[in-house]
Structure 1
Amino acid sequence: MNKELLNAIAFLSKEKGVSPDVICDSLEAVLITAYKKEPEANPMADVELNRETGDYRIVAAKTVVAEVTNENEEIVLAEARKQNAAYEIGDMVKVDVTPHNFGRIAAQAAKQVMIQRLREAERSIVYDEFYNRTDDIITGLVQRIENKIVYVDLGKAEAVLPVSEQIAEEQYYVGQRLKCYVVEVRKTTKGAQILVSRTHPGLLKRLFELEVPEIYDGVVELKSVAREPGRRSKIAVFSRDTNVDCVGACVGPKGVRVQNIVTELQNEKIDIVKWDEDPAVYIANALSPAQVVSVTIDEENKMSAVIVPDYQLSLAIGKAGQNARLAAKLTNWKIDIKSESQAKDGNSKDNEGEPDILSELSVPVSPAGDTE
């Protein structure tokens, strides 16, 4: 029994996190590669490795013949019967062709090949692990920052947080603990390349799933997310249980749940609104914290005309149109906002044959977020 080999396989399996079967497969490939470098190697040879005892040998399959014409492929009947007297001409025999000094030669020739194969196996395991976490949240430590690109240590691998996926208002530093959203995992010659984001709407969704048990359990459903990273976000939630307040569940006792998320996103403001199957109600909710007087919808064109009190107009629109823009993204409806006094003026113009409120409103905002 080759205890040294078995111990080495067990050690490598534990150290590298690679299955013993993968190591044995690699070892078999290494042994046959080393053998074929021998001057008189049989090109038809293969390796037999006993995975229970650790013993191995190089064997070549040969045909039993009366007279040998090709030593690599044939064996004379008398030689074959030394192994087993039952052999007859035409039978296939496995012949041990292991060189006498093969142990030393194999060790020298196999070292680099084994290292390379183990690295490939490690990379494959890491890739599979992180590929399965695509569209999920992951926590790591900022390892280094080069040309504003942040490299995040995930333990077994390193993730890249490019400038385009960073929140402009955030400051990153070495040793900082970050929660990121896994956007993509690519397989490269150097291993898994993991692209993460701090701006993706999915990050906000996953953070709420972590903080709010009702969302994780499926009692509360997160219907939609609209986000302007680092500044403000809106989420629409719906409760499948009439006894559960979906907005209250997300806010948490004394606001602790939403505050944890706000802190993680470095004080990004978050509005939590109630989703409704009635588009008019949903749009009114989406414009929170502004109060809405009425909502007129055009189902065919996915347009809505919203009237708010005069003193609520600036709040409904938001700074630089932010509130209206996020509401449009959240609901996927075009939203035109007008105050009550502007609506009255518009109605007067309608009576004079002028365009109606749907076509002439003060702040039309599309779901894409562009103020027209």
Structure 2
Amino acid sequence: MRAAVLEAYGQPLRIYDDVEIEPPAAGEVRVRVHHCGVCHSDLSVVDGLLPAPVPSILGHEAAGVVEEVGAGVRVVAPGDPVVLTACPPCGSCYWCQRGEFSICVNSSGLMTSTLPDGGTRLSRQGGLLYRGLGVGAFGELVTVQEAAAVRIPEGVPLDVACVIGCAVQTGVGAVINTAKVEPGATVLVTGLGGVGLSIVQGAVLAGAGRIVVSDPVAARREAARRFGATDELDPAQTDVVAAALELTGGIGADYAFEAAGKVALLETCLQATRAGGTTVIVGVPPIDEPLTISPVALFQTTEKKLVGSLLGSVHAARDIPRLVALWQAGRLDLDGLVTSRRPLAEVNEAVDDLRQARGIRTVLSL
């Protein structure tokens, strides 16, 4: 098959047409990828800020059609349209038994870039290729666990549905599943890429009373307003903490979401939340960047909360169909997140779109 391969950090991806993929084993399915969004996590791997094994096929925000199934597969069949997820729950591990599906043992594949048995099902000229960030969808075909391919209704455009695979699951899920934002709450969102704008939409769905957004790119702030933000801040011109306090009558936001993967913005969010408020880490900072909470005594005595969110604390089999249904009902805007479409041959230009903050989401067609 044809695929884009990252051979070393900091290098352009190279297109090869001689990548080999194994047939699905028991409990696995092979999916022909139609479309895949380019996510900030992909960029972080390319730039070496997020460690992942190489050489690898990146791409984890994808939709396609099931082509072949392995023994024992019952939930999907050849011909089914599906959205892929990087966190397929096994249903039986310690975390799944407690309803914490996104941190199932299978989620380790995000970092190991392998399937649970240590294999990848991918190779080129006899050499192993990794499935970058747990999927490997910058290629025409992927072999995934059955739970990683979630069936969606016929007729849903796959170039739109693919953004559910990461940006929308992550953003909406962080609001609904991780933070459990309640009606009337005040929300601050820092960073307005695909994930941040999905957080805005999640806050609207949750009935938040005030949604304050911050991003240095004017076009993204304008997009956030269209998606439902009530107040927009330019961090290059405005003290975000002071503005958030002023907009909330000196109290601070009930919830703050960091969606750009920047530790400095996490510190902003912590300062901008009220006593008892919650800051949610949604973006993925560089692996070697620490967070300092100082003074800890003030954090403790104000009962502020700092929580992580992996892929929006998602249970893919439940949440992906729900998100599709919300789009069908006109309550979730997926189309507006996709601002550019490119063929796989332009994968490096698509990565550069993200690096230069051009548009919101670039989707590749395979």
Scaled to the shorter chain, the TM-score interval is under 0.3
* More helix by percentage: 1
TM-score normalised by L of structure 1: 0.26
TM-score by length of 2: 0.26
Q: Which has the higher contact order (CA 8 A, sep 6+)?
A: 2
